[in-house]
Structure 1
Amino acid sequence: MTHNQGAGVINNVKILLVDDQPGKLMSYEAILGELGQELLKANSAKEALDLLLRNNDIAIILIDVCMPDLDGFELAKIIREHPRFQDTAIIFVSAINITEIDALRGYELGAVDYVPVPVVPNVLRAKVRVFIDLFTKTRALARMNEELEERVAERTAQLEAAVARQELLAREVDHRARNALAVIQSIVALTPAEDIRSFSESVTGRIRAMATAHNLLSESRWQGVDLISLTKEELAPFADKDRIAVNGDAVSISPTAAQSLALVLHELATNAAKYGALKDPHGKLSVAWDLRDERLELVWSEDCAPEGDPQSRVGFGSKVIEASIRNQLRGAIEREWGPGGLVCRISLPRRHFAISELAGASAEEPGSVVDSKSLRGRRLLVLEDEPLIAMMACQVIQELDAEVLGPFATIADARQAMPEFVDAALLDVNVGGELVYGFAGELQSRGVPVVFVTGYHAYAVDEQFRSAHVLTKPIERDDLGVALTQLFASKGVEAS
Structure 2
Amino acid sequence: MIEHERVNILLVDDQPAKLLSYEVVLRELGENLIQAASATDALQILLKNEIAVVLVDVCMPDLDGFELAAMIRDHPRFQRTAIIFISAIHLTDTDYLRGYEMGAVDYVPVPVVPELLRAKVKVFAELYRKTRQLEALNQDLERRVAERTAALQASTARLQESEHQLRLATEAAEIGLWDVDNVSNTLFWPPRVKAMFGISADVPVSMADFFDGIHPDDREATCAAFDASCDRDKRALYDVEYRTIGKEDGIVRWVAAKGRGIFDEEGRCVRIIGTALDITERKKAEQRQFLLAREVDHRARNALAVVQAIVRLTRSDSKENYVKAVEGRVQALAQAHTLLSETRWQGADVTRLVVEEVAPYRGSDRSRVRTDGPAVTLAPERAQSLALALHELATNSVKYGALSVAEGMLAVEWSVNGNVMTMVWTEAGGPPVYPPTSHGFGTKIMNAGIKHQIGGDVAFDWRPTGLQCTLRIPLERVDQAPQPSKNLIRLPAGTTKRILLVEDEAIVGLMMRELLTDCGMLVVGPCCTLEEALAEATGEFDGALLDLNLGGKFVYPVAELLVERRIPFTFVTGYGAESLDGRFTGTPILQKPITRETLQRQLGTMLGIVIEWKTAPPGDEQASLKTA
Q: Which has the higher contact order (CA 8 A, sep 6+)?
A: 1
Same fold (TM over 0.5): no
Could you state the TM-score of these two structures normalised by the residue count of structure 1? 0.42
